A = this chain, B = another copy of it.
């Protein structure tokens, strides 16, 4: 099997030196524990001030199947997927493909103990005598195989011009300063580094040179950021069921709760429950939301399907809840360890019958943090289940980010009446303010007037069971009004409108990085494309304005059916004719050249490109 991310076979630019601008792939087998070496390499480059990003391409399996770790260093700061010029080949199972995938002019760092690597005289090869380098390592047995990953760390860093001090610092950071661990690993790195320095002679153009582009930045995964954001949103109840790629979000959330939300006497201000399945997880979250806690769950595609019925209850009984969907490739069980954006259409109207739900669409780890706390505010203000759709690429991979900003406003708990605030004529679903949102009361309130009976069945505005047509319609019309109020609560899109650009691109989530890079390239070629990055549904006026201002709008999304495009066409029928779809899903994050290729026909249509130029 071949590394799916190493697709380009075009010769790579080798004239002159390639300073801090290239991609590396490390090919190992799952379960061999190469992650430590990979993340250390990533961090070492980051420490040198060079913009860098890592993507882990792993199988849905625990041990033995091939896995590839991609690191892109880019002085210009590009982080989208890019076919690697440097390959570290440590996995016998994929040796052939890994070598074959290299562009001519590329670099191969080969575990010399592996046999049968294909000859590539158009590739610069460095052979690493792993066994030899491991010889006098103190560790024994299986642990030795594990530590063997440190050899390529040493060689690669040396070749790229990363000092041993940087590597050591990175290793310390990676091990959170745990001495024993550093001491077990570093000697091997050092040995390999010095061996490389003394024996290998650099023949390739790729180097890292110190910059200051990462000053003040952090390295973090989206799931970690989301967990942390939730904690700062006051998450107090978490129920979930394990599923890739959302599991690490809950793991992070829980460890941050332990760290930040446990009293001196050890009492937690939170409860995390591993439910028996996703139906139970969302049920628990709704029960907790009804009782007044800030409750959240995280899942992925299959879990969203199982949450359909309860989401409809939450919508109709009007109970706050936050649901994170770290999207993987669907339909069905699909590709659990690949990334996609295929749940947006389904989540937006989840549940039988009428109903729409607010959907946050974070596009960066910063937004994973921010929406982590904002989602609770919207859920409690609107008294409804709120979805946050991120994806595996954003959630599980390691990204550079600004230090997260502390919430700039107090927690918005929404309309909750307590004790004497509860009027004599209190009706749970009475729209006293005309915004479609009626004040609620919480169980446990001493005021006898506070009581109401939550239900998924038809009811009047006092929550009393009713089959009367006028009660049904009044109530659901109010829910529609409420949804309009919600428009004002969602984050505005990020718009980069280019003066008299004919084409506007609309995107969401993590695809923005490839799009930014593609737009920059197009701009160099004189083709200017505006961009609107949607950060939430329902849409507001800004989207209508953006589409109106452009001759043609192209909605780029990582699914097959063009789900977001369909939503926009349905909600903006008068503009639908101008709204075009670019929808592609194969499980891989987008690369800039894919975006360029997909936009080309549209540039041709608007006359900005002549057909011939399209390759």
Chain A residues in contact with chain B, CB under 8 A?
1-2, 4, 59-60, 301-302, 304-306, 308-309, 312-313, 315-317, 329-338, 340, 342-343, 345-347, 349, 351-356, 455-458, 467-470, 472-473, 476-477, 480, 559-561, 563, 565-567, 569-571, 573-574, 576-577, 579, 584-588
A330-B354, A569-B573 given; 13 more Cβ-contact pairs under 8 Å: A312-B330, A316-B331, A316-B334, A331-B355, A332-B351, A338-B458, A346-B349, A354-B585, A472-B587, A480-B560, A565-B570, A576-B576, A576-B577
Let me know if A352 and B343 touch, CB within 8 A: yes
Separation of A353 and B557 alpha carbons in the complex (Å): 12
CA distance A458 to B586 in the complex (A): 10
Supply 21 A–B pairs (Cβ within 8 Å), ascending by A.
Answer: A60-B457, A60-B467, A301-B352, A304-B352, A329-B353, A333-B455, A335-B458, A338-B469, A346-B351, A346-B353, A354-B560, A469-B586, A472-B585, A472-B586, A473-B585, A476-B560, A480-B560, A480-B561, A569-B576, A573-B577, A573-B579
> Contacts of A469 on B, CB cut-off 8 Å?
4, 338, 586-588
CA distance A408 to B588 in the complex (A): 48
- The reply to whether B353 and A331 contact each other, CB–CB distance below 8 Å, is yes
CB atoms of A332 and B354 under 8 A apart = no
Are B353 and A343 interface neighbours, CB within 8 A?
A: yes
The residue that A317 contacts in the complex, of B304, B332, B467, B584, with Cβ under 8 A, is: B332
- Taking a contact as CB atoms closer than 8 A, the residue among B333, B355, B467, B570 that contacts A337 in the complex is B467
**Shortest Cβ distance from A576 into B: residue:** B576
Assembled-state Cα–Cα distance A152/B397 (Å): 75
CB neighbours (8 Å) of A352 from chain B are 301-302, 304-305, 330-331, 342-343, 346-347
Given A59-B467, A469-B588, A587-B469, do A353 and B332 touch, yes or no (CB 8 Å)?
A: yes
Determine the chain B residues whose CB is within 8 A of the CB of A2 once the complex forms. Answer: 468
Of the residues B337, B455, B586, contact of A470 by C-beta under 8 Å: B586
- Bound form: Cα–Cα A351–B308 in Å: 9
Q: For the complex, what is the distance from the CA of A330 to the CA of B355, rounded to whole Å?
A: 9
Q: Given A472-B587, A585-B476, is A354 in contact with B559 using a C-beta cutoff of 8 Å? A: yes
Is there contact, CB below 8 Å, between B1 and A468?
A: yes
Across-interface contacts of A480 in B (CB, < 8 A): 560-561
Q: Which residue of the partner chain B has the closest CB to A315? A: B331
A353 touches which of B342, B355, B566 (Cβ 8 Å) = B342
Q: A302-B352, A305-B312, A352-B343 are in contact. Are A332 and B457 (CB under 8 A)?
A: yes
B contact residues around A1 at 8 Å (CB): 467-468
Shortest distance from the beta carbon of A464 to any chain B beta carbon, whole Å: 12
Q: A467-B587, A586-B469, A587-B469 are in contact. Are A345 and B349 (CB under 8 A)?
A: yes
Decide: B330 and A353 in contact? CB cutoff 8 A: yes
From the candidates B340, B354, B473, name the one contacting A561 in the complex (CB within 8 A): B354
Inter-chain CA distance A347–B305, complex, in Å, is: 12
Instruction: Please indicate the chain B residues that have their CB under 8 angstroms from the CB of A565 in the complex.
Output: 570
Residues of B contacting A60 in the complex (Cβ-Cβ under 8 angstroms): 457, 467
Q: Which residues on B sit within 8 Å (CB–CB) of A457?
A: 60, 332-336
- Knowing A60-B457, A480-B560, the reply to whether A312 touches B332 (Cβ < 8 A) is yes
| Cβ contact within 8 Å between B331 and A351 | yes
5 tightest A-B CB contacts, nearest first: A330-B353, A332-B456, A576-B576, A331-B353, A469-B586
B308 touches A331 (CB 8 A): no
CB distance from A9 to the nearest CB of B (A): 15
Give chain B nearest CB distance to A594 CB in angstroms. Answer: 12
Return A576 CB to nearest CB of chain B, in Å.
Answer: 3
- A302-B352, A308-B306 known; A586+B332 contact, CB < 8 A: no
Complex interface: chain B residues within 8 A of A476 (CB): 560, 585
A327 nearest CB across to chain B (Å):
9
How many whole Å from A56's CB to the nearest CB in chain B? 13
Q: Shortest Cβ distance from A278 into chain B, in angstroms?
A: 9
Return chain B residues, CB-CB under 8 Å to A577: 573-574, 576-577
Q: Which residues of B contact A468 (CB under 8 A)?
A: 1-2, 4
Report the bound CA distance from A528 to B335 in whole Å: 53
> Which residues does chain B contribute within 8 Å of A354, judged by CB atoms?
330-331, 342, 559-561, 563, 585
C-alpha spacing A565/B354, complex, angstroms:
13
Q: Are A335 and B472 in contact (CB under 8 A)?
A: yes
Which chain B positions have C-beta within 8 A of A567? 570
Separation of A335 and B355 alpha carbons in the complex (Å): 15
Q: How far is the CB of A595 from chain B (nearest CB, A)?
A: 16
User: What is the distance, in angstroms, from A29's C-beta to the closest C-beta of chain B?
Assistant: 15
Nearest to A473 among chain B residues (CB) is B586
* A343 nearest CB neighbor, chain B only: B352
Measured CA separation A574–B455 after assembly (Å): 42
CA distance A469 to B342 in the complex (A): 15
Which residues of B are found within 8 Å of A335, using beta-carbon distances?
457-458, 467, 472
Pick from B309, B561, B571, B584: contact of A305, CB under 8 Å: B309
Measured in the bound complex, the distance between the Cα atoms of B573 and A351 in whole Å is 25
A261 to chain B, nearest CB (A): 31
Residue from B329, B337, B467, B559 within 8 A of A338 (CB atoms):
B467
Contacts of A333 in B (CB 8 A): 313, 455-457
CB distance from A333 to the nearest CB of B (A): 4
A317 to B351, alpha carbons, bound, how many Å?
23
**A467 proximity list for chain B (CB < 8 A):** 1, 4, 59-60, 335, 337-338, 587
